[in-house]
Amino acid sequence: MGFPRQRPRRLRRTPALRRMVRETALSVDDLVLPLFVREGKGERRRIPSMPGCFQLSADELLKEADRAAEAGIPAIILFGIPAAKDAQASGAHDPDGVVQRAVRTVKERLPDLVVIADVCLCEYTDHGHCGLVVERPDGTREVDNDATLELLARTAVSLAAAGADVVAPSAMMDGQVEAVRTALDEAGHQAVAIMAYSAKYASAFYGPFRDAAESPPQFGDRRAYQMDPPNAREALREIELDIEEGADIVMVKPALAYLDVFSRARDAFDVPIAAYNVSGEYAMLKAASANGWLDETQAVLEVLTSIKRAGADMILTYHALEAAAALRG
């Protein structure tokens, strides 16, 4: 019995051979580090459901930004925990808000580090929803899409004025990208890019983030405006609409349960695609490694490589610092 002349195993025999034929190469340049900023000084509050992650006051956040820059990570994304919340999310667009001040602090110290600012209302509303809530005549409450757009636009402008390089509307309101792009341009911030949370699914994997950002909904859930997990074709429609409205980067969120969506989006669109390796995905690996069930570094690199292989150009991940250390050897 003869053997085939083509034997793929020949190219797997040594580390150098494997590197030479590797189809997907994960790089530090692919990583974005999410950080949570709160009021105060010297504050570094542990997030129990996200081992290794903290709520940070601006001075402590600056230390993490320094670590990111030293590791070669090109960007961070900021989420705010204000001292007070209200129904109008007034802290979101306050020029002196917690994130606005953090952006200024980081850009003064690290002008070359890309600072992305999340644009949503859930961290700032007392009800925990991503937009303004109205009560209908029948007593039901729901998020008012169009009324929310104005606040998202004001928030984006305030963050751009503080020095953000990229704003990231994440509320999943119809028309949010157009509203933000128009407001930025009218305010003279034409150079500020938009990274749109285009296909943000109503996922169970956000649980630890809601602890970190102190933003769980106080009634109902977010399924009326976030995407239904069984849908993939709808994600492509959402992405297409955001591109038409002016998005420079589009995002699919979460990552691991939606790799098929990344693949479809990569085939359909020639724009940068971001992936958010979300808090629940992070917490799962941390828990498994803490129990000795898997090698954490190997698992992290395998997961992040799978996301890139599926089509993502950049990956927002809480593993960014440890992944950068592993990649740099």
- Specify the CATH number for the domain of residue 279: 3.20.20.70
Residue 200 falls in the annotated catalytic set: yes
Confidence category of residue 194, pLDDT binned at 50, 70, 90 = very high
Q: Does pTM surpass 0.85?
A: yes
**Based on the structure, what is the number of domains in the chain?**
1
Residue 135, pLDDT score: 78
State the pLDDT at residue 136. Answer: 79
Q: Which two tokens stand for residue 72?
A: 């070669």
Integer Cα distance of 119 and 241 in angstroms: 18
Mean pLDDT on 61-75:
98
For residue 150, the tally of other CB atoms under 10 A from its CB is 13
Whether 4 is in a domain gets the answer: no
d(CA 315, CA 329): 20
Measured CA to CA, the distance from residue 54 to residue 37 in angstroms comes to 9
Helix 320-328 and helix 296-310, axial crossing angle in degrees, nearest 10: 100
The whole-angstrom separation of Cα 177 and Cα 195 is: 9
From its phi and psi, is residue 292 left (phi > 0), alpha (psi between -120 and 50) or beta?
Answer: left
**Set 41, 63, 107, 253: catalytic member:** 253
Mean pLDDT confidence for 62-70: 98
Give, in order, the Cα–Cα distances in Å from 171 to each of 4, 86, 139, 142, 200.
55, 17, 24, 14, 9
Residue 316 in this model has a pLDDT that exceeds 70: yes
Tokens of 202: 């109503």
What is the maximum alpha-carbon separation in the chain? Answer: 80
Pairing between β-strand 75-81 and β-strand 114-119 as defined by DSSP bridges: parallel
Residue 98 lies in a domain: yes
Q: Has residue 149 got a pLDDT over 90?
A: yes
> What whole-number percentage of the chain has pLDDT above 90?
82
pLDDT at 9: 86
- Respond yes or no: is residue 308 known to be catalytic: no
Active-site residue (options: 63, 85, 107, 200): 200
Whether residue 169 has pLDDT greater than 80: yes
Name, in order, each residue with C-beta under 8 angstroms of 174's C-beta and a sequence gap of 6 or more.
Answer: 145
Least confidently predicted of 39-48, 156-165, 214-223: 214-223
Q: CB-side exposure of 263: number of CA atoms within 13 Å?
A: 8
Alpha helices (runs of H) in 96-221, residue ranges in sequence order: 98-109, 145-162, 176-186, 207-212
Q: In which band, very low, low, confident or very high, does the pLDDT at 286 lie, cut at 50, 70 and 90? A: very high
Does residue 19 sit within a domain?
Answer: no
pLDDT of residue 126: 85
Distance between CA 212 and CA 52 in Å, rounded? 12
pLDDT higher than 60, residue 324: yes
Nearest to 226 by CA among 280, 156, 173: 173
Please give the pLDDT value at position 2.
62
157 domain-assigned = yes
User: What is the tens place of the pLDDT at every residue in 14-34?
Assistant: 999 999 999 999 999 999 999
Question: Could you tell me which of 200, 202, 267, 205 has the C-alpha nearest to residue 238?
Answer: 200
Q: Which domain holds residue 188?
A: 25-328
pLDDT of the residue at 5: 76
Number of Cα atoms under 13 Å in the Cβ half of residue 298:
6
Does 228 score more than 90 pLDDT?
yes
Asked if the structure places residue 8 within a domain, the reply is no
CB atoms within 10 A of CB 220: 15
pLDDT at position 250 is: 98
- Give residue 213's pLDDT: 76
Say if residue 3's pLDDT is above 70.
Answer: no
- Whether 68 maps to a domain, the answer reads yes
User: Is 9 contained in some domain?
Assistant: no
Q: Which residue has the higher pLDDT, 187 or 122?
A: 187
Is 325's pLDDT higher than 90?
yes
Distance CA 109, CA 51 (A): 27
Q: What is the pLDDT of residue 269?
A: 98
Is residue 12 a part of any domain in this protein? no
**Residue 134: predicted pLDDT:** 82
